[in-house]
Structure 1
Amino acid sequence: MAATPRTVIEHCAIATVDADGTEYTDGHVVVAGQLIESVGAGPAPAGLERVVRRIDATGHLATPGLVNTHHHFYQWLTRGLATDHRLFDWLVALYPTWARIDEPMVRAAAEGSLAMMARGGVTTAMDHHYIHPRGAGDLSGTIVAAARSLGIRFTLARGSMDLGESAGGLPPDFAVESLEGALAATEETIDRHHDPSFAAMTRIAVAPCSPFSVSTELLRRGAELARRKGVRLHTHGSETVEEERFCVERFGKGPTDYFADTGWLGPDVWMAHCVHMDDRDIAAFARTGTGVAHCPSSNARLGAGIAPVPDLLRAGVPVGLGVDGTASNEAGELHTELRNAVLVSRLGPHREKALTARRALWLGTQGGARVLGRADAIGSLEAGKLADLVLWRMDTLAHASIADPVAALVLGAPAPVTLSLVQGRPVVEDGRLTTVDEEALARTTRSEARRLARLAAGE
């Protein structure tokens, strides 16, 4: 039987982000098919069979691919709007526009979001999509297809809202689904697209949007559905003081206690933001293994506050990084979150001791893999794991004078991506996507954004 084709990467610095934080100043990675075969110091072992590609990566840093744990792809079409709003006002301003999306818009927005992340070193993405206008088409299917076409590993968190304005919720009534309709559509999405295998390229999570846009019944039955189908659960939690006030006034308790009562704490759950948490909330997350998607840029953009990430990590809470929707993070790529996770956390009570550059890289790789339930397969460079890795060029003017390549990557300017592999297959080469025409995609996203704006204006 013929040997598995191999790609050999040599002469680069390597941050494996394994449990021991192993690093090499001059090392190698051997990829055999879809798996990492070996990682170590110096050149690759001699005598390897069927080496189809050998890369001299001098001047580069190799890391695991970045893992994005929270995003809203459709918002790519509404970037730059409501730029001076806090969360609730921002949502009220944009819900009427978002409620007019359709399948072509969502496909373009998903491709734009995925392309931007891939160019910046993301190999695993997720999308929390909770807007499903009547007659808009197969939005879940088109998002999954977009990720497949770009070759990015993907989790679709099939979101939903059933608590409209007339029932005391935040979204307008025409932007929500019925309870039964949301549950049925979510189960159908799981049945059609979820792959539980080790090397899965597509997984599905159950994801009612937030306490202020879904009913208690949808939360409870959504949790039951997820556990019956063996998939993970995702929602927004403790993002703003207004959300906490809403929960106290409506349910007589804060968000964490409300989630506990509805079955939404556990090792199969992760929540976006978690900015306003006290010691008791953090202890509940740690005790139950509930994960957090930390979105520092969006939290700052919307004035939500500084998440207690050092305290969450110290307590043992699983934490990863998220871009969040590009209507509250116009950059739309995860490198910004590595840097801002360090900088924003240092504005909090722990100051310069809050997060290190290496801890930020861990959040963006191994931490994210753990939050998504994929730590056995991705998130570190180790033999036997899937070959999701990135080669960052560190010898240009932007980084060459920084001796520590990890500090250069996290704290410096965005580093060029020379090569990004997903399951051993190139998705970026020399800073360019291999699977999509970037210029054509830019034209399509611009056209769809303008069409959405016209519809929102009633034209």
Structure 2
Amino acid sequence: MDPSGSSGKPRPVPAGSTLYKNIGTLHTLNSTLSEIKDGAIFVKGNVIQWVGKTKDLPAEFSTADDVIRLENRVVIPGMVNTHHHMVQSLTRCVAQDSKLFGWLTSLYPAWGNLSGYDVYIATKLAMAELILTGCTTTSDHLYIYPNDVKLEDCIKASREIGMRFHPTRGAMTLGQSKGGLPPDNVCEEEDAALATMKQLIEDFHDNSKYSMLRMGLAPCSPFTVDNSLMIAAAKLARQYEGVRLHTHLAENQEDIDFSIKTYGCRPGKYITDVGWDASDVWFAHCCMLDDAEMKQFHDNGIGIAHCPSSNLRLASGIAPVRTLLDTGVNVGLGVDGSASNDCGHLLAEARLAMLLQRHTGNAQGMTIAEAFDVAVKGGARNLGRDDIGEIASGYAADFVAWRTDTIGFSGGRIDEAAALLLCGPSVGFVDLSVINGEAVVKDGKFTTIDLTELVKAHNACSARICSFLGPNWKTGSEPAV
């Protein structure tokens, strides 16, 4: 494991062509192609050139540099994760019975001791978990920068494992001495944070088609930053094409109460006041939006990253996804941090999102088709992408496959695509993951990393970081505000 902290080099675009054929079930999420039995995908470099039935392969696509047969597989476009704190994979199972503010207060002492190497290892492991559960594109919200930690540590991990990445440079500037939640020692000065944000955009943001890395800016939350940083970050992002804005909003009642006490308003007016009421913004959680705010989100093209497992784990509530979708608000998925969800299983997240919207007695509270749309295309829209999210000609070669001749699918092969969601985590990890044309996972094993060594390194980092937790780490600490 390289502890250097440099950002590494971008992975080269694969040369040549690959034909994936005899696909048992190909669920394209393309409105014209729909679902194809005995399907085929022809890829040249990092772009899909042709999709259809294997028997209908045109002569020009019937041969390739590499041919991979995928009988007994179900293939879908790679899912898109739009909210995560990957560094939190080091601190799972902490503050097990706390709500948001108490949970955060319990964890700040450990996170304040992070090193750049810890962040690099944590990010790589979190990405491995996402990839194995069907995700090919992810954002990450790193908002804490103690010691030698830099966002480049995350970028290096993404390039080594081969994941399409939308890192967001976060920051906390409102410490306890200023009325915020986090201790002062994990906060930054606003000018320094903004200067770093600008440099990261200049160094890494790539807005070209099929880009593997696009930057975003993400001041942490209304209870950890000043209004001035929110305003300045929005102005900075909008100087560049394709740099989007992200933060937490209306996560639970504590969040709402803090906003009213500190800013004298609910979230809808708050985001208007700071200039975040626009279509280049997506917010995480939004469990507590009222009807007027949901309409505001639709009218202004604002997206939401729905994080069902985290919201339940922290007793935050259930986001009104059915109402949001009916209002016309774009909804994608987020696994959230692996310390509030405790796993990064994006397929399980999609299943839970679907089931939660049926809790009121409406069996169509979220359909299978809607769940796939949220997990894949909703996430792509949150990130401003029109080149991922479908298996169709001209789209990036990002798709994943599960074996269907396994115990998890047994008895459910009448509808193999639906079985992915209805049978849930029992279907296991992916057998194949193609990202930007590269088979990052093949025959169920990573081709880009040594997973056994990564887990070993990750556990060592976790043990060190967790040694800084307080005596009440299991039950949780009382919040500071």
TM-score, normalised via structure 1 length: 0.95
Distance, in Å, in 1 between the alignment partners of 2:17 and 2:52 is 19
Distance, in Å, in 2 between the alignment partners of 1:4 and 1:441 is 30
Q: Number of matched residues?
A: 452
8 Å CA contact retained: 1:236, 1:271 = yes
Please say which of residues 327-336 and 284-293 is displaced more in the overlay: 327-336
State the Cα distance separating 1:50 from its structure 2 match: 4.9
Distance, in Å, in 2 between the alignment partners of 1:99 and 1:290 is 32
State the Cα distance separating 1:41 from its structure 2 match: 3.0
1:262 and 2:262 correspond: no
Distance, in Å, in 2 between the alignment partners of 1:118 and 1:378 is 15
Of 304, 307, 317 in structure 2, the residue corresponding to residue 295 of structure 1 is 307
Give 2:441's aligned residue. Answer: 428
State the Cα distance separating 1:20 from its structure 2 match: 5.4
- Pairwise CA RMSD of aligned residues? 1.6
Distance, in Å, in 2 between the alignment partners of 1:8 and 1:371 is 29
Give 1:438's aligned residue. Answer: 451
Give 2:238's aligned residue. Answer: 227
Q: How do 1:251-400 residues align onto structure 2 when only pairs under 5 Å count?
A: 251-347=263-359, 349=360, 351-374=362-385, 376-400=386-410
Distance, in Å, in 1 between the alignment partners of 2:422 and 2:90 is 29
Of 139, 153, 175 in structure 2, the residue corresponding to residue 164 of structure 1 is 175
Distance, in Å, in 2 between the alignment partners of 1:36 and 1:90 is 44
State the Cα distance separating 1:190 from its structure 2 match: 1.1
**Gap change, CA 1:141 and 1:444, over 3 Å in 2:** same
Give 2:47's aligned residue. Answer: 35
Q: Could you tell me which amino acid in structure 2 is paired with residue 190 of structure 1? A: I
State the Cα distance separating 1:44 from its structure 2 match: 5.0
After superposition, the C-alpha distances for 1:4-28 in whole angstroms (9 at most, x for unaligned) are 5232322321111124581123322
After superposition, the C-alpha distances for 1:376-418 in whole angstroms (9 at most, x for unaligned) are 2101111000000011212212113111112200121333412
Give 1:54's aligned residue. Answer: 67
Give 1:145's aligned residue. Answer: 156
State the Cα distance separating 1:438 from its structure 2 match: 0.8
Query: Unpaired runs of 5+ in structure 1?
Result: none
Q: Could you tell me which amino acid in structure 2 is paired with residue 165 of structure 1? A: Q
Distance, in Å, in 2 between the alignment partners of 1:63 and 1:187 is 36
SS at match of 1:404: helix
Distance, in Å, in 2 between the alignment partners of 1:15 and 1:98 is 41
Higher relative contact order (CA 8 A, sep 6+): 2
After superposition, the C-alpha distances for 1:248-303 in whole angstroms (9 at most, x for unaligned) are 11111101210111111211100000111111011000000000000111111111
SS at match of 2:151: helix
Please say which of residues 82-91 and 47-56 is displaced more in the overlay: 47-56
SS at match of 1:101: coil
After superposition, the C-alpha distances for 1:393-447 in whole angstroms (9 at most, x for unaligned) are 1221211311111220012133341211011100111221111111100110000
1:191 and 2:202 correspond: yes
State the Cα distance separating 1:321 from its structure 2 match: 0.5
After superposition, the C-alpha distances for 1:51-105 in whole angstroms (9 at most, x for unaligned) are 1222222221111001110000110110111111111110111112111111011
TM-score, normalised via structure 2 length: 0.91
After superposition, the C-alpha distances for 1:101-132 in whole angstroms (9 at most, x for unaligned) are 11011011011101111111111011100001
Please say which of residues 22-31 and 57-66 is displaced more in the overlay: 22-31
1:245 and 2:257 correspond: yes
After superposition, the C-alpha distances for 1:169-196 in whole angstroms (9 at most, x for unaligned) are 0101111001111111111111111111
8 Å CA contact retained: 1:100, 1:456 = no
SS at match of 1:207: strand
Give 1:107's aligned residue. Answer: 120
Q: Identical aligned pairs, as a percentage?
A: 40
After superposition, the C-alpha distances for 1:141-197 in whole angstroms (9 at most, x for unaligned) are 110010000000000011011000111101011110011111111111111111111
Query: Unpaired runs of 5+ in structure 2?
Result: 1-14, 472-481
Q: Could you tell me which amino acid in structure 1 is paired with residue 341 of structure 2? A: N
Distance, in Å, in 1 between the alignment partners of 2:454 and 2:313 is 26
Q: Could you tell me which amino acid in structure 2 is paired with residue 303 of structure 1? A: A
SS at match of 1:30: strand
1:211 and 2:222 correspond: yes
Distance, in Å, in 1 between the alignment partners of 2:126 and 2:397 is 22
**Gap change, CA 1:430 and 1:94, over 3 Å in 2:** same
